[in-house]
Structure 1
């Protein structure tokens, strides 16, 4: 199942592959598979929304008419010290068929971000004659990865009266295993441009609104327990950010900070045919379920930008439900 997480990571060509698949959980029946997958995947979906939404600005000083900047931006939403995101409490009383092999009725198990390995579960019929055992999947931390990444190209152009239009995109990725595309639109308006003393003020104040959309699919192989056809995962993510930004207005090195709010949603469709070949619940499922996750919260960041002619560098760090580091290489005029 950790292969689910690699769909989120390929946004910046990162591979987080593992040995176990989502397929095996279907051996416990459809309801148990849906419940476990929902809890397992939720933290990665949430972390990716925070990662995907960062990097909209590197100054509050809006570009003048015709000014432009093209940026290559990478974000990393960290979770190294967030134990509540790396594991969740699995209580067998909430499941119809899944049981722990060691006899426990409740314990912490790995989420898609975690590193708990070797948790063995089983399902069996009422008479105990048919039984199937398998390991629950671990997550990204077991691969020594403690962040959810994203990456894209972003362009900004200045319009009239302190308004700046922004667009971001990730070129279409299409391989035998996955497909991925991303785009976003944003607008920034500087309020200090309307003040008579704008040219002599040492700071700029503006507001930023940004929308980002990502969609992709990931094909994953069947296991020895579950066979099938066209097994894939389709993900659709939408996020909005609303932020107030303040920055200095110096020739070379500047500092900026922002305070705002993020809201987003993701839908994960588990598609294809899944045929359980062993154990007590040997059934077939077609396009079995969808998983929805919402995220929202306050974000605050602080950063710096170095400007050397048309070449610029920036980096900032955001405090939120998932703290996010954003870095960018920028090329601009005016």
Structure 2
């Protein structure tokens, strides 16, 4: 499946490189499809929420009144091996079974690369008559040789009142093939050391930051041989809150900064459209069959450095969290 890099990034956002296999899960019934989809996309949605919450700051010094900075921020989050698979136990499912007779085995998440897992669903539809349907479980991004989650956005920071800086970030809504995605965020940073006596003499600055980010998007996909229908799509919203305590040096050219923080986020994915199951024991039509929700929360530790040359600034930092992240920012500012 050939996609441009940009399209792949958007598919990463929605975790659906193999969505045609996801709708085949409806051949095993809504309950099984919903349970599987929740586990399948959870790590990708979690990684997305961590990724889109990075890059809020490059200094603990808040800008003075009318001071501003425009930043282009890119994030790279490598995918850990433990996020690429989950154990599917057939005892937790009503109809889904492994063709090879296993009762439990590791299968791919939307970030993984486990291929060739064959499953089936069967049931007696009349006395002595059994219907059965077989299909492969989907693999994920790693099967496309993508082992990271990227995010990028434009951010603007403005000093509003003494020691307080207002931030706004956005990624303009873009249509690419069957994917639509865009996000925005707002943040507030306040310098705490300004309240200390002779604060200009302190070699470091300390500030607190609160940031909110929200993503909205959708992905339209085609029907398969097993499941027909119309207007089949996923619609996803994800929102996060980021809380950071930041410290940085106060040198004229090269500075170092770090933070300790906490992330809280939630994503909701609605599977919408008409789905007509044409094979197996559960042949019926579903309209907007189900939704799944995923949460993300955890602490994060960031260390970084910033180079300042007149109006141009360059920063680089690394965050240790449930999904580690490398962030780079190109910044243009005044004051």
Aligned to 1:106: 104
Instruction: State how far apart, in whole Å, the 1-side matches of 2:115 and 2:289 are.
Output: 26
Secondary structure of residue in 2 paired with 1:196: coil
Conserved in 1, the CA contact under 8 Å of 2:243 and 2:261?
A: yes
Secondary structure of residue in 2 paired with 1:306: strand
Secondary structure of residue in 2 paired with 1:125: strand
Aligned to 1:142: 143
Conserved in 2, the CA contact under 8 Å of 1:11 and 1:180?
A: no
TM-score for the superposition, normalised by structure 2:
0.93
Secondary structure of residue in 2 paired with 1:325: strand
Conserved in 2, the CA contact under 8 Å of 1:12 and 1:150?
A: no
Structure 1 pair 14/104, CA: closer, same or farther in 2 (3 Å)? Answer: closer
Instruction: State how far apart, in whole Å, the 2-side matches of 1:178 and 1:114 are.
Output: 21
Instruction: State how far apart, in whole Å, the 2-side matches of 1:128 and 1:79 are.
Output: 46
Q: Where do residues 45-194 of structure 1 align in structure 2 (5 Å cutoff)?
A: 45-80=45-80, 82-83=81-82, 85-126=83-124, 129-175=130-176, 177-194=178-195
Conserved in 1, the CA contact under 8 Å of 2:168 and 2:187?
A: yes
* RMSD (Å), alpha carbons: 2.2
Secondary structure of residue in 1 paired with 2:318: strand
Conserved in 2, the CA contact under 8 Å of 1:21 and 1:222?
A: no
Conserved in 2, the CA contact under 8 Å of 1:228 and 1:273?
A: yes
Aligned to 1:251: 252
Q: CA deviation at 1:111?
A: 0.8
Structure 1 pair 238/157, CA: closer, same or farther in 2 (3 Å)? Answer: same
Secondary structure of residue in 2 paired with 1:39: helix
C-alpha offsets along residues 58-87 of structure 1, whole Å, 9 cap, x if unaligned?
Answer: 00011111111001111122223x42x211
Does 274-283 or 190-199 show the bigger shift? 190-199
Aligned to 2:38: 38
Instruction: State how far apart, in whole Å, the 2-side matches of 1:19 and 1:271 are.
Output: 12
Instruction: State how far apart, in whole Å, the 2-side matches of 1:46 and 1:15 are.
Output: 10
C-alpha offsets along residues 289-316 of structure 1, whole Å, 9 cap, x if unaligned?
Answer: 1101111111111011111111111111
TM-score for the superposition, normalised by structure 1:
0.93
Conserved in 2, the CA contact under 8 Å of 1:269 and 1:291?
A: yes
Gapped runs of 5+ residues in structure 2? none
Q: Where has structure 1 moved over 6 Å in runs of 4 or more?
A: 11-16
Gapped runs of 5+ residues in structure 1? none
| Count, aligned residues | 328
Instruction: State how far apart, in whole Å, the 1-side matches of 2:325 and 2:75 are.
Output: 7
Secondary structure of residue in 2 paired with 1:207: strand
